[in-house]
């Protein structure tokens, strides 16, 4: 089985940090749990990247324990994480966020 490198864009890291801050505001320590769980999900992309359905031009992987989805694309042997978005938001908001993150080829 091929293992791919997972690269997380700065914008996707900012999404993770925003999620961490939100969950910490709900309950102390929950933000760290959120961050750890999402990082484990991201690490799984090294093996399973490319098996998910496509939405808005990117692969979309639902997070396992939180209502977030990871949007990514595959370039050669690299999984490039574009965004980590809250799925409770309006779908138009998610679409706009993804459109604001065009990638250079």
Domains of the chain: residue spans and CATH: 5-99 (3.30.2310.20)
Q: How far apart are CA 47 and CA 20, in angstroms?
A: 25
For the question of whether the overall pTM of this predicted structure is more than 0.85, the answer is: yes
CA atoms within 13 A on the CB side of 65: 14
Segment 58-94, tens digit of pLDDT: 999 999 999 999 999 999 899 999 999 999 999 999 9
pLDDT averaged over every residue in the chain: 94
**Measured CA distances, 75 to 4, 31, 58, 79, 81 (Å):** 10, 31, 12, 6, 11
């Amino acid at each position: 089985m091929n293992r791919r490198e997972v690269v997380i864009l700065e914008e996707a890291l900012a999404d993770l940090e925003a999620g961490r801050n939100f969950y910490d505001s709900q309950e102390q320590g929950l933000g760290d749990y959120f961050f750890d769980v999402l990082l484990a999900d991201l690490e799984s992309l090294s093996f399973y990247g490319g098996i998910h359905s496509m939405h808005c031009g990117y692969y979309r992987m639902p997070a396992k324990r939180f209502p977030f989805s990871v949007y990514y694309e595959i370039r050669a042997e690299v999984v490039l994480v574009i965004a980590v978005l809250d799925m409770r938001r309006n779908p138009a908001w998610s679409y706009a966020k993804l459109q604001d993150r065009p990638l250079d080829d």
